Amino acid sequence: MKKRLQGRAWIFGDHIDTDAITPGKYENLPLKELCRHCLEPVNGAFAQNVKKDDVVVAGENFGCGSTREIAPGALKELKVGAVVAKSFARTFFRNAIAIGLPLLVSQDAAQECRQGDILAIDIPHSRIRNMTTKKPIPAEPIPEELYYILSNGGLFSAHKKKRQGKTHVSASLAFGQKGRSSMKVRRPRGRL
Partner 1 sequence: MNQTIAEKILSRAAAKKAKAGNVVTAHIDLMITHDGLDSVYRILQKQGIKRVWDSSKIVSALDHNVPPHSERVAARLKEMRSIVKELGIKNYFGENAGIANQIAAEKGFVRPGMLIAGIDSHVITYGAFGAASTSFGFTEIAFLFAYGAIWFRVPSTIKFQISGRLPKRVMSKDIILEIAKTHGVNVGNYRSIEFSGDAIKHLSMESRMAMSNMAVELGAKFGIFEADDMTLGYLKDIGIKNIQPFRSDQDAEFEAVIPLDISRLEPRVAWPHSVGNVTPVSQCRDIPIDQAFLGTCSNGRLEDLRIAADIVKGRRVFRDTRFLVIPASWDIYLKALKEGTLETLIEAGAIIGNVGCGPCMGLHMGLLAPGETCISTSNRNFRGRMGSYEARIFLASPATVAASAIRGKIADPRDF
For position 179 contacting partner 1 by CB under 8 A, the verdict is: no
Binding part of the chain for partner 1, among 50-58, 75-83, 119-127, 177-185 by CB under 8 A, reads: 177-185
User: Does residue 183 belong to the site contacting partner 1 (CB under 8 A)?
Assistant: yes
Q: Does 178 bind partner 1 (CB under 8 A)?
A: no
**Contact status: 105 vs partner 1 (CB under 8 A):** no
Under the binding rule (CB under 8 A), the answer on residue 192 touching partner 1 is: yes
Task: Give the interface segment with partner 1, choosing from 1-9, 36-44, 110-118, 123-131 (CB under 8 A).
Answer: 36-44
Least gap, CB of 187 to partner 1 (angstroms): 9
The reply to whether 134 sits near partner 1 by the rule CB under 8 A is: no
Q: Is 185 in the site for partner 1 (CB under 8 A)?
A: yes
Q: Identify which range of 18-26, 46-54, 102-110, 118-126 contacts partner 1 by CB under 8 A.
A: 18-26
Rounded to whole angstroms, the Cα distance separating 11 from 116 reads: 8
Q: Which stretch binds partner 1 (CB under 8 A): 1-9, 57-65, 75-83, 123-131?
A: 57-65
Residue with smaller CB distance to partner 1, 19 or 122? 19
HSE value, Cβ hemisphere, 13 Å, CA-based, for 15: 0
Would you give the distance in Å from CA 81 to the centre of its chain?
9
